[in-house]
Structure 1
Amino acid sequence: MSLLQASGLRKSFGGVHAVQGVSLQVRAGELLALIGPNGAGKSTTFQLIGGQLRPDAGRVLLDGADITGVAARELARRGVGRTFQIAETLASFTALANVQMALLAHDGRWRGLWRGAGGYRRQDALALLAQVGMQAQADRPCRELAYGDVKRLELALALAGTPRLLLMDEPTAGMAPAERGALMQLVRELARERQIGVLFTEHSMDVVFAHADRVAVMVRGELLAEGPPAAMRANSQVQQAYLGSGLQAPGSPPTLPVAEQPMERAPLLRVRDLQAWYGAAQALHGVSLTVRPGEVLALMGRNGAGKSTTLKAIAGLMARSGGSRHFMGEDIGRWSAHRIARAGLGYVPEERRIFGDLTVLENLEAGRQSPRRWPGGTPLPPWTVQRLFALFPNLGEMPERRGARMSGGEQQMLTVARTLMGQPYLVLLDEPSEGVAPLIVEQMARAVRELKAQGMGILLCEQNLAFAQAVADHVVVLEQGRVVHAGDMAGFMADAALRRRHLGL
């Protein structure tokens, strides 16, 4: 008998039929990957199984017991663990304290123990952190952790409840390829050893095809196909609806044609000796880089290397930073974040930050600024709603949908579009392909190439090396907040030893 049996699940939000008759089974010790385009209904299916939403129709059984509509808190007591698409942790607590709080909740002893919780099952908490490779980060507050490390911490929190069924929504988002493989191998070993059933969603096909026992594909709220990974990879319907042609693996020619080298023009952005701190901890140590018009510079490195911190410091979002930052010839080192944005420097954060209560159109209007001109007087082609919908057709299909009702990938596209409504000269893009379906990643790559063809500068943080190869002209690699390599992207891709040394690839 299957550990999990979901049959005939349906859920609608107004006129949006998010899930339409979905049935799934997961056996103990098995990994089932649920994949599909952005907006296919995967996260809604997770919420129906995990107790965050009650289905309009259908049943969910756990070990034969009916758990349909049971609240998430009660399901956690019954052995259903959960990780989320956007990691849910206590940002001001240390990694160790987060796990201790999870253990307190699992033991039913959280009431009245807040003040004395610092020593609660400390060794058990450290052991859970060690299992996910986070023991060295035990005493760091979550707000200082790289996003990939936060995702690993979230797995430790789920394991604290000793689950029989583990629901993982994009578990490797924000992680480097080598780290993704290591994490999912750990999940696979734990599932086999403890007979945990694992249902996970994932847009990284290397993770899905290497670690799933079976794959179920959703499209527009329905199951399109289900079977072994190899069969799903070869399925023509799955390729057309979801996989696309695929960006190439590292070291092979990029799918998209390589752009001509940008002309030598005055830099849009010049950063010298950039330093930044989280409290007393220094995160950046003298980072220097330059971005010119029509150029994409890829900022790469392992998790925790300082990539996102570099973008935040440039955008004026770090409480303490130093060094020289010039944008469009102006010294912006002491400018506030909103003044920098008004000057035409756009920022797309990794965590999206859309307005969930606003519609797509309202989110776009929130980012609107007046058209701009280059210093010589040539106007920038203005970004309009119509132009953005042409760039991101998925958004054009849902102009009145509220942000909270969009999938993670759709929210990512909306975040980029909202930033472009600010008519920027240069955009800081933090992991634009993360959480986005392979077919949309191809569209995103073409969008980036279109932007730089129009003269826009782009500073890109990206774990997806194939995506970076397809769009970037130059690369800067960070390790522990320091620049360890800078050069052209073609040369970086041609040097396998260099990539292996700095990226683990």
Structure 2
Amino acid sequence: MTLLEVRHLSRAFGGVQAVDAIDFDLEAGEMLALIGPNGAGKSTTFNMIGGQLRPSSGVVRLAGRDITGLPPRAIARLGVGRTFQVAATFAGLAVLENVQMALLAHDRKIFRAWRPARLARRDAALALLEQVGMQEQAERPCSELAYGDVKRVELAMALAGAPRLLLMDEPTAGMAPAERHALMALTQRLARERGMAVLFTEHSMDVVFAHADRLLVLARGKLIAQGTPAQVRDDAQVQAVYFGSGATFADRDVGARPARHEGPSNDALAPVRPAADIPPGLDAAGGFHACSAEEPLLRVQGLHGGYGAARILFDIDLDVRRGEVVALMGRNGAGKSTTIKTLMGLLPASEGRVDFMGRDITGWPAHRIARLGLGYVPEERRIFTDLTVDQNLAVARQAARHWPDGTPGPSWDASRLYEQFPHLASLRDRVGSRMSGGEQQMLAVARTLMGNPYLVLLDEPSEGVAPVIVEQMAALILALKRQGASILLSEQNLHFAALVADRAYVLDQGRIRYAGAMSSLNGDMAARRSWLGV
């Protein structure tokens, strides 16, 4: 049974044709993946189907009924659930309360008087949280959750409406590989059992190829390919515009390969060649890089921290030297982002000491730390959405820096960054609110580099971006390294981290469980399964 019909759907923003006359059907019980480069029009397509945007032209039918242009509330009432690329939850409410609110909205009892909402539909909310693996965190505020866990809560909220059609925009962002597959396997099972159709976007190709029945590929607003996973994987045009060369492909078991364009390997745990294995004096691209100084650029000793009374970090010791890339790894919720935010002064350290550039910066506010030359790229991007790309870069510019010995330090300007990210250059006059999530991620990295930092804290830089952009991210990290700058990289993508990192620390439940060479971690299957879920 055809549940969703899309015919000649288009949307333009001024002179930009974001989606251009696309057609497709979706059957009940089917998992359909919509993939493509950042800015291809995937989220715009979702927003037109879900009612957040009115199409410029075209028709959307749900079970034969024309829903084109209906408001989101009306479309939700007809049985369409939705999760968003940037998770939409009530940060100040507990996990359980978020799901209760969704259930009450479905029951049309949001404004019922005389009974506290926290007492309503509690058992049903707990059952939904159990399905998505979040029952144990039911009483925690959403503001304290790791981003991957927020995505799970959002899925439970979408399921609260018992949808016939579920729209999922980047559903597994921020999750470890095992968690991604568990969540999508659950979604697939629910789709089969309920006869629920699922349309999802995703940049993790292991998820797409393992769980999608069919794929649609968008590029520059046009549908360029569709078919089974095998058919799409072998399409030369898709390889060129989306998969890239495969050199830094996030998921080795399904990715494209340079030259030969081979199919997937089943050995998802096969070690990859890390930066630490490259001959001394050369980086992965074959260029010379700066040698590390003896004295650490960043040194962290006995760090404890968290959110208010909730302790997340316990006795963290780590250091980063000049010209070094260090990966901070761990499962979703292990404490990686909390560590990064504490180092940047966005969260207070309850104990311990942080030294940067030979100065004790413990307790400093974030703006003073940034002026000293510590850059930060948040997972949430946080660009200025009402400014253009050019303007975002201009407001972040700082003067060129010098190392303590007088040698030139990092030096970036807009023209160099546009060379590094050609797609960003084509968007230089576009405001941030009109950019896709992946494009915003590129801009967030570029904006931070305009401050010419000695050391960059990168929080999940490969999350939510196309494989071809992941390649550009890797090239950028290596370019920074050649300048003698350093990177502390919070990352769940082991393949990406192994290609660029010299050393690694692994966090588990807020404690350092491994500290050593990236190559050693990459080759330790037991450690990878135990601490990283891969």
Pairwise CA distance, 1:451: 0.7
Structure 2 counterpart of 1:411: 440
- RMSD of aligned C-alpha atoms? 1.4
Amino acid at match of 1:370: A
Structure 2 counterpart of 1:296: 325
Pairwise CA distance, 1:113: 4.8
Structure 2: distance between partners of 1:137 and 1:259: 46
Q: Give the number of equivalent residue pairs.
A: 505
Work out which of the residue numbers 358, 362, 365 in structure 2 matches 1:333.
362
Find out whether 1:393 has 2:412 as its counterpart: no
Pairwise CA distance, 1:382: 1.8
Find out whether 1:260 has 2:289 as its counterpart: no
Amino acid at match of 2:307: Y
Pairwise CA distance, 1:236: 1.0
Q: Check whether the contact 2:501–2:518 (CA below 8 A) recurs between aligned residues.
A: yes
Alpha carbons of structure 1 residues 381 and 476: separation in structure 2 relative to 1, 3 Å: closer
Find out whether 1:402 has 2:419 as its counterpart: no
Structure 2: distance between partners of 1:300 and 1:381: 26
SS in 2 for 1:237: helix
Pairwise CA distance, 1:264: 4.1
Amino acid at match of 1:326: D
SS in 1 for 2:7: strand
Structure 2: distance between partners of 1:452 and 1:115: 59
SS in 1 for 2:2: coil
Structure 2 counterpart of 1:55: 55
Structure 1 counterpart of 2:375: 346
Structure 1: distance between partners of 2:351 and 2:371: 21
Structure 2 counterpart of 1:159: 159
Work out which of the residue numbers 355, 358, 362 in structure 1 matches 2:391.
362
Pairwise CA distance, 1:380: 1.7
Structure 2 counterpart of 1:435: 464
Work out which of the residue numbers 307, 313, 318 in structure 2 matches 1:284.
313
Structure 2 counterpart of 1:480: 509
Structure 2 counterpart of 1:245: 245
Alpha carbons of structure 1 residues 182 and 397: separation in structure 2 relative to 1, 3 Å: same
Alignment deviations for residues 415-452 of structure 1 (CA, whole Å, 9 cap, x no partner): 00000001100000000010100111111111111111
Structure 1 counterpart of 2:98: 98
Structure 1 counterpart of 2:36: 36
Alignment deviations for residues 75-111 of structure 1 (CA, whole Å, 9 cap, x no partner): 1111000000010001111100000011111111101
Pairwise CA distance, 1:349: 0.3
Alpha carbons of structure 1 residues 49 and 255: separation in structure 2 relative to 1, 3 Å: farther
Find out whether 1:45 has 2:39 as its counterpart: no
Alpha carbons of structure 1 residues 234 and 192: separation in structure 2 relative to 1, 3 Å: same
Q: Which runs of 5+ in 2 are unaligned?
A: 253-268, 282-290
SS in 2 for 1:54: coil
Pairwise CA distance, 1:259: 6.5
Q: Which runs of 5+ in 1 are unaligned?
A: none
Alpha carbons of structure 1 residues 103 and 329: separation in structure 2 relative to 1, 3 Å: same
Structure 1: distance between partners of 2:69 and 2:134: 34
Structure 2: distance between partners of 1:366 and 1:322: 34
Percent identity between the two aligned chains: 62
Amino acid at match of 1:162: A
Structure 2 counterpart of 1:77: 77
Structure 2: distance between partners of 1:408 and 1:294: 29
SS in 2 for 1:166: strand
Structure 2: distance between partners of 1:230 and 1:332: 52
Alpha carbons of structure 1 residues 219 and 170: separation in structure 2 relative to 1, 3 Å: same
SS in 1 for 2:48: helix
Pairwise CA distance, 1:23: 1.1
Structure 1: distance between partners of 2:459 and 2:422: 21
Structure 1: distance between partners of 2:10 and 2:294: 56
Structure 2: distance between partners of 1:368 and 1:75: 44
Any residues of structure 2 matched to 1:218-233 within 5 Å, and which? 218-233=218-233
**376-385 or 245-254: bigger deviation:** 245-254
Find out whether 1:275 has 2:313 as its counterpart: no
Structure 1 counterpart of 2:260: none
SS in 1 for 2:23: strand
**370-379 or 208-217: bigger deviation:** 370-379
Find out whether 1:377 has 2:406 as its counterpart: yes
Work out which of the residue numbers 340, 362, 387 in structure 2 matches 1:311.
340
Structure 1: distance between partners of 2:304 and 2:56: 53
Q: Check whether the contact 1:258–1:470 (CA below 8 A) recurs between aligned residues.
A: no
Q: Check whether the contact 1:367–1:419 (CA below 8 A) recurs between aligned residues.
A: yes
Amino acid at match of 2:451: G
Q: Check whether the contact 1:278–1:320 (CA below 8 A) recurs between aligned residues.
A: no
Pairwise CA distance, 1:115: 6.6
**123-132 or 258-267: bigger deviation:** 258-267
Structure 2 counterpart of 1:27: 27
Structure 1: distance between partners of 2:6 and 2:114: 38
Structure 2 counterpart of 1:7: 7
Structure 1 counterpart of 2:208: 208
Alpha carbons of structure 1 residues 6 and 328: separation in structure 2 relative to 1, 3 Å: same
Alignment deviations for residues 257-289 of structure 1 (CA, whole Å, 9 cap, x no partner): 837374343211000111112121101001110
Q: Check whether the contact 2:410–2:484 (CA below 8 A) recurs between aligned residues.
A: no
Amino acid at match of 2:373: G
Q: Check whether the contact 1:276–1:313 (CA below 8 A) recurs between aligned residues.
A: yes
Amino acid at match of 1:174: G
Alpha carbons of structure 1 residues 309 and 332: separation in structure 2 relative to 1, 3 Å: same
Work out which of the residue numbers 497, 500, 512 in structure 2 matches 1:471.
500
Give the alignment's TM-score, normalised by structure 2: 0.93
Structure 2: distance between partners of 1:321 and 1:468: 29
SS in 1 for 2:153: helix
Structure 2: distance between partners of 1:259 and 1:10: 51
Structure 1: distance between partners of 2:80 and 2:197: 10
Pairwise CA distance, 1:321: 3.3
Structure 1 counterpart of 2:265: none
Pairwise CA distance, 1:46: 0.5
Amino acid at match of 2:525: A
Structure 1: distance between partners of 2:501 and 2:114: 49
**171-180 or 258-267: bigger deviation:** 258-267
Give the alignment's TM-score, normalised by structure 1: 0.98
Pairwise CA distance, 1:320: 4.9
Structure 1: distance between partners of 2:32 and 2:412: 42
Structure 2: distance between partners of 1:321 and 1:195: 50
Q: Check whether the contact 2:128–2:160 (CA below 8 A) recurs between aligned residues.
A: yes
Amino acid at match of 1:380: G
